[in-house]
Amino acid sequence: MMVFDYMIPVYGLLVKASARKIGSLPEQYQVPVAEYLAAEVEKEGK
């Protein structure tokens, strides 16, 4: 299955809002969403 870039922030928002858990996401999206959320945390820290 292909990873659509526009879905990464969508899944990130769902995880951040506790509507979904990272482990419940489709497998191919888990790492990109985790990296997206980590980048957001790093931005907030600056």
> pLDDT digit string (tens) for 17-27?
999 999 999 99
- In 3D space, the residue among 1, 38, 25 whose CA is nearest the CA of residue 10 turns out to be 25
Output the pTM of the full model: 0.90
The residues near 40 (Cβ < 8 Å, ≥ 6 apart) are 12
Q: How far apart are CA 40 and CA 17, in angstroms?
A: 14
Contacts of 26-31 with CB under 8 Å at 24 or more apart are 26/1, 28/1, 28/3, 29/3
Per-residue model confidence (pLDDT) at position 10: 97
| 1-46: pLDDT as tens digits | 899 999 999 999 999 999 999 999 999 999 999 999 999 999 988 7
